[in-house]
Chain A
Amino acid sequence: MVDTTRPTAVALDEATVAFRLAGDRVYTAVEQASLTVEHGEFVAIVGPTGCGKSTLLNVAAGLLKPVSGTVRIFDQPLTGLNKDAGYLFQADALFPWKTAIDNVAIGLEIKGAPRVQALERAQGWLTSVGLGAFAGRYPHMLSGGQRKRVGLAQVLIRDPKILLMDEPFGPLDAQTRQIMGNLLLELWNADRKAVLFVTHDLEEAIALADRVVIMSAGPSARIIGDWKVPLARPRDISEIRMEKEFHELHREIWSVLKDEVMKGYAQSTQAPAVVA
């Protein structure tokens, strides 16, 4: 249920992101990207490797500043970090020296919640991601999928209005990815946050999202397509892939994406392209 009566959760307008390289050269990662995520909307960004998908996400998180263009969060210009957002990273981001439950509770503790109460709610969140019995484990004692579950609980316990996810299930095997996808949809269904989900997997994007946004190959990546996903909710990720609508949409988007993937691959095998 996309709610357009409320202010747009994330609005990038003509955002360009560039990095200064050695010797005064400038690398433009993303060029004039405009993108909106409405309240309660699940948007997936898909693009070839190295196209700047994560860059765009970091802009929405306030971790990166665009050199031109604007970022508005709930109609307010973004300055500094995006405090309304929870960020699920691709790489391991849990605190390795904290147990699972302490990793989850920390988001409340730093806001000044009493420890007992924070731990109680953390235990509740661990249970909802299916790790109720693993509270005392340190991250290295958990599998990759379990660590992602803890990460999800760590982010969701703070109840962020926006969820930013950077290929969160990338390192997982195919089966675990589907299970995690279903878990994510189930948790998201409970309170429909605005979600910006970056992935290189088109199937995953269609199965999860309300809208799929396609980026061109970098450098100077642009947004080159935007599709609504008309599939009904609630969805089961492993079932939905069998449906006819899914296939048609997949074929349609893939015809556009394929060329970019090839371009991206060609570039990744050449010397790095640099824009002066």
Chain B
Amino acid sequence: MSRPVLLLCQLLVAVVGLALWHVFTTVPIFGRVLLPPFFFSNPIDVASQIVDWFVRGTIWKHLWITLLESALAFTIGSVAGVLVGFWFARQPRVAAIFDPYVKMANALPRVVLAPIFTLWLGLGIWSKVALGVTLVFFIVFFNVYQGVKEVSPTVLANGRMLGMSERQLTRHVYWPSALSWMFSSLHTAVGFAVVGAVVGEYLGSAAGLGYLIQQAEGIFDVAAVFAGMFVLSAFVILIDLLVTVVERRLLVWRPDGAGGHG
């Protein structure tokens, strides 16, 4: 399928979807509207709500808060994940001791921590950051741990035969390997940072996209709920594009990474 045709088909899906949504929520079929507008709103109302947010500028504050929370959660979670993952992988004894607790902590659905974080850190951004950190940390941690463990034995032996000390092996072999694994988990980690932020906002906050959606739900403003979801999707897609750009720059040496000669 050529690119224009593909784009056309993709566009067609959106058009058909929106058209069906519009028809089922506004035009009576056999004397009855199939999707009650009270529960399903309609595309026009949702679109005008989105336009309204951007025209009046009320949305920017919420977007900024969610972005800030996600960025902080990602940064703190990643740094902690890299450091602890690296430490555990190089110190098998430490890893063995902490292993059951790491598994236990990771097994816990993180949403249940949200009320605790709200109690500890208040309704501001930090309780959301904390929730995001608990999600991001484990993804990065497991990836880095694996990355250090799975350094090619030949590359390692080569480093040794070239005369590297343990410190130099860490710097030239273990560390780059660990970071490359961290970067390969970038998309997932960033996605989870946003999830943490939005879920946290949803469960109790004064600003952010999650807050916006939750408020709209509270007053049965379904158009605003859908509008919030669309803005959130677009927001995540934009961040994901940014991550792809960063990834391309950082992983030029990777065979499957883009930017190389493949």
Q: Interface residues, chain A, CB within 8 Å of chain B? A: 61, 63, 81, 83, 85-87, 89, 91-99, 106-107, 110-111, 138-141, 154-155, 158
State in angstroms the CA–CA spacing of A96 and B260 once bound together.
Answer: 13
Please report the total number of B residues contacting A with Cβ < 8 Å.
24
User: Using Cβ atoms and an 8 Å threshold, which residues of chain B touch A155?
Assistant: 162
Cβ–Cβ contact B163 & A93, under 8 A: no
Flag the segment in B15-23, B128-136, B172-180, B228-236 that touches A: B172-180
Q: Interface residues, chain B, CB within 8 Å of chain A? A: 152, 154-155, 157-165, 168, 172-173, 176-177, 180, 252-255, 260-261
Cβ–Cβ contact B173 & A95, under 8 A: yes
Instruction: For residue B255, give the distance in angstroms from its CB to the closest CB of chain A.
Output: 4
Cβ–Cβ contact A97 & B176, under 8 A: yes
State in angstroms the CA–CA spacing of A110 and B158 once bound together.
Answer: 13
Cβ–Cβ contact A140 & B173, under 8 A: no
User: Using Cβ atoms and an 8 Å threshold, which residues of chain B touch A98?
Assistant: 172, 253
Contact of B172 among A85, A95, A138, A154 (CB under 8 A): A95
Cβ–Cβ contact A93 & B157, under 8 A: yes
User: Using Cβ atoms and an 8 Å threshold, which residues of chain B touch A81?
Assistant: 160-161
Instruction: For residue A78, give the distance in angstroms from its CB to the closest CB of chain B.
Output: 13
Cβ–Cβ contact A110 & B164, under 8 A: yes
State in angstroms the CA–CA spacing of A85 and B172 once bound together.
Answer: 20
Cβ–Cβ contact A61 & B173, under 8 A: no
Cβ–Cβ contact A87 & B252, under 8 A: no
Cβ–Cβ contact A93 & B154, under 8 A: yes
Cβ–Cβ contact B161 & A96, under 8 A: no
Minimal Cβ-Cβ distance residue in B for A138: B253
Contact of B260 among A61, A85, A138 (CB under 8 A): A138
User: Using Cβ atoms and an 8 Å threshold, which residues of chain B touch A87?
Assistant: 157-158, 161
User: Using Cβ atoms and an 8 Å threshold, which residues of chain A touch B154?
Assistant: 89, 91-93
